Amino acid sequence: MWDRDLGGHERTLLHQSNLGRSCARATGMAANRFPYSFDRVATDYDTAWALPDDILDPVISCIAKLCRGGRLLEVGVGTGRLAIPLQREGVAVIGTDVSRRMLTLGRRKGAESLFLADAHRLPLADKVVRTAMTNRVLHLLSSWPAALAEICRVTSGRYLSVLERASADPDVDAEYIRLVQDAGSNTRRPGIYERELVNQLRPVETFDIRVVDAVVPASYLISMLEKRVYSSQWNIPEEVHRAAIRSVCDKFDGQQVSTRNDGQIVTWTIDSMHEFLEN
Ligand SMILES: C[S@@+](CC[C@H](N)C(=O)[O-])C[C@H]1O[C@@H](n2cnc3c(N)ncnc32)[C@H](O)[C@@H]1O
């Protein structure tokens, strides 16, 4: 199942005592060095970002086919939203993240091989995994090219991402963002969205994810906004946030929202990614 040995770093990764020391170092730095650690929203993460089974199942089987026989690294693995079903499909997934709480929740749900590590400094030997992926992570990293270069260092074959797309009518989230931006708040994250990377470097393969329509109460979407589960909300001053929540409540509470989820899985070769990062 494993494509290559982890080399000298395997002991650091796999021995609990060493992992404990590496966790202690990483959490000591967390507050300053990892402003986009998801520690603060870990308990709400799985509710806010749940994927319908109609989407999750084909995504998992597509990635499992792409990774057959090789090890997969997910950087910014979170609570194992994708890593856990992939492990259940038999894929040898290693997950890394800077959020201790996200990793703890992932382990509680049954995820294996999760490690506290920064995307820019992966405790892995060169070319030790065949495939690497990030999902909803690069936009959190101001130095995303350095993180991608580090991911390429440890990967021999391909890098992939699941580009989820969601739309809503009426668009409660967009209205909230408009209100806070009009009040002068910056909702932009420091990095690049994986879906924007597609415009900079053409993927070698693209697999469409099926469209799934649903209806949800606006009150549910507002409750997620109210808890500031989205990283775009983390720098908004409290009074601006409160005023925007009051406005969206007045406008949408009691309504039903039609949602549409779809997207693509895209892959790049590590060679093409290297070339892109060098230019
Ligand atoms: C939106 S969540 C995505 C989690 C998972 N990939 C998924 O699709 O469910 C982003 C994750 O990136 C992690 N993260 C933020 N900065 C990071 C860094 N410098 N290195 C590794 N992970 C990081 C966060 O802690 C969080 O768990």
**142 lies in some domain:** yes
Per-residue H/E/C for 62-102: HHHHHCCCCEEEEECCCCCCCHHHHHHCCCEEEEEECCHHH
- Atom in ligand 1 nearest the alpha carbon of residue 119: 20
Nearest alpha carbon to residue 124 among 92, 89, 95, 81: 95
**250 lies in some domain:** no
Q: How far apart are CA 277 and CA 8, in angstroms?
A: 27
**273 lies in some domain:** yes
The fraction of the chain above a pLDDT of 70, given in percent, is 89
User: Residue 35 has what DSSP assignment?
Assistant: T
**229 lies in some domain:** no
pTM: 0.90
The fraction of the chain above a pLDDT of 90, given in percent, is 85
Q: Is 136 in the pocket of ligand 1 (CB under 6 A)?
A: yes
Segments forming the whole domain that contains residue 95: 9-165+190-211+263-278
**257 lies in some domain:** no
Query: What pLDDT is recorded for position 33?
Result: 76
Other CB atoms within 10 A of residue 274 CB: 15
Query: What pLDDT is recorded for position 35?
Result: 87
**176 lies in some domain:** no
Q: How far apart are CA 60 and CA 266, in angstroms?
A: 13
Query: What pLDDT is recorded for position 32?
Result: 52
* 37 CA → ligand 1 middle, Å: 7
**172 lies in some domain:** no
Helix, strand, coil shares, percent, the chain, to 5: 45, 20, 30
Q: How far apart are CA 230 and CA 48, in angstroms?
A: 9
Number of compact structural domains in the chain: 1
Give pLDDT < 70 ranges for the chain.
1-32
CATH of the domain at 141: 3.40.50.150
* 117 CA → ligand 1 middle, Å: 11
**2 lies in some domain:** no
